[in-house]
């Protein structure tokens, strides 16, 4: 098995102020634990779309929005903060749990034995 990192490669979620409007950008970090964002893509897309609808974000403001990456522009500050918080609530725990699962898998003795036999 591969050596795992000491901490999860969490998605980066940031708010940027552009003139009078706000933007929210998010992007996954390339790591084994990030694959869960692709596997759960349909669920995440539904969550994000529902959140933006609930916040009253007009579809024209959405440049792209998926469970892996996204850019939403022309927001007011409240919408930007609430969208960032919603993304933090869904993306961070999913990646963190996958990181923990992968670490636990690498600690299983029968998997280490298979690796030794293949070498």
pLDDT digits (tens, 9 = 90+) for 48-100: 999 999 999 999 999 999 999 999 999 999 999 999 999 999 999 999 999 99
Which residues form the domain of 112?
12-118
In whole numbers, what is the pLDDT of the chain averaged over residues? 90
Count how many domains the chain has: 1
Q: What is the DSSP letter of 40?
A: T
Sequence-distant contacts of 55-63: CB under 8 A, at least 24 apart: 55/79, 55/82, 55/83, 57/83
Residue 2 lies in a domain: no
Task: Kindly report the pTM of this predicted structure.
Answer: 0.84
Residue 34's CATH number: 3.30.70
Residue 79 lies in a domain: yes
């Amino acid at each position: 098995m591969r050596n795992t990192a000491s901490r999860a490669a969490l998605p980066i979620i940031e708010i940027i102020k552009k003139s009078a409007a706000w933007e929210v950008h998010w992007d996954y970090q390339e790591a084994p634990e990030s694959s869960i964002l692709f596997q759960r893509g349909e669920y995440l897309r539904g969550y994000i779309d529902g959140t933006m609808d609930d916040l009253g974000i007009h579809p024209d403001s959405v440049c792209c929005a998926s469970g892996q990456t996204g850019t939403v522009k022309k927001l007011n500050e409240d919408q930007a903060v609430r969208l960032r918080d919603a993304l933090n609530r869904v993306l961070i725990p999913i990646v963190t749990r996958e990181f923990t699962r992968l670490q636990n898998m690498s600690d299983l003795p029968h998997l280490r034995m298979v690796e030794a036999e293949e070498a």
